[in-house]
Amino acid sequence: MENKTIQTQFTLYPSIAELSTEDLHLMKAAQKAILNAYAPYSNFQVGAALLLENGTIVTGNNQENAAYPSGMCAERVAIWNASSQFPGMVIKKIAITVKSKLKEVNKPVSPCGACRQTLLEYEVNQKAPIEVFFTGEVGVVIKANSLQDLLPFAFDQSFL
Ligand code: THU
């Protein structure tokens, strides 16, 4: 028997103002995407923006449903939007942010497990890491270097 440890590296920025010009631009696109979120049940509006290798930014936002499980997270709306418009195009980064009508979200909104799994599929296919930036309405920004870092022991096509 052997105990092992997995470590994850990430970068912490004190606020979005500390991001590079390119990353701030992407985060602002995610903030803008929040405006079209449809979140009447949770009042938790999420925006996501992807930067593709051709420089295009593709966005998404959460879309809820009266039958709650039929709703969808912003990250999956965004990546499926990207893949449906630009199939096979390498995705460099994704920025994720939030605005709640109930409270000021002051910690980074990390992508849920299902979104991590979905994003990982594209990272595996493109054989290049996707950087993930996430923040709250205010406060710090976290940058993970890849989906692999956010989803250790991921299930992927290599098992099939
Ligand atoms: N949500 C996202 O869009 N992305 C996340 O990473 C976490 C949760 C949405 C789903 C639902 O519409 C609302 O936030 C509350 O869970």
At 80-120, the pLDDT tens digits run 999 999 999 999 999 999 999 999 999 999 999 999 999 99
Confidence class for position 145, pLDDT limits 50, 70, 90: very high
Confidence at residue 132, expressed as pLDDT on a 0 to 100 scale: 98
Beta bridge partners of 150: none
What is the residue extent of each domain of the chain?
Answer: 10-151
Give the model's confidence band at 16: pLDDT under 50 very low, under 70 low, under 90 confident, else very high: very high
Report, as an integer, the average pLDDT of 55-78.
Answer: 98
Tokens 């969808």 found at: 72
* Closest among 32, 28, 10 to 20, alpha carbons compared: 28
Residue 153 has a pLDDT of 95
Share of the chain above pLDDT 90, in %: 100
Please give the Cα distance from 103 to 138 (Å, whole number). 11
Closest of 112, 111, 116 to residue 152, by C-alpha: 116
Residue 2: active-site member = no
User: Could you tell me if 19 and 27 are in contact, meaning their C-beta atoms sit under 8 angstroms apart?
Assistant: yes
The pLDDT confidence band at residue 151, using thresholds 50, 70 and 90, is very high
Say how many C-beta atoms besides its own lie within 10 A of residue 142's C-beta: 18
| pLDDT computed for residue 83 by the predictor | 98
Please report which confidence band the pLDDT of residue 30 belongs to, taking 50, 70 and 90 as the band edges.
very high
Distance (angstroms) between ligand 1 centre and the Cα of 156 equals 23
pLDDT at 63: 98
Q: Is 95 helix (H, G, I), strand (E, B) or coil?
A: strand
**pTM across the whole model:** 0.96
Rounded to the nearest integer, the mean pLDDT of the chain is 97
In the set 64, 75, 123, 131, the catalytic residue is 75
Is the CB of 86 within 6 Å of ligand 1? Answer: no
How far is residue 42 CA from its own chain's centroid?
A: 19
**Architecture in CATH of 10-151:** 3-Layer(aba) Sandwich (3.40)
Under the banding of pLDDT at 50, 70 and 90, the label for residue 33 is very high
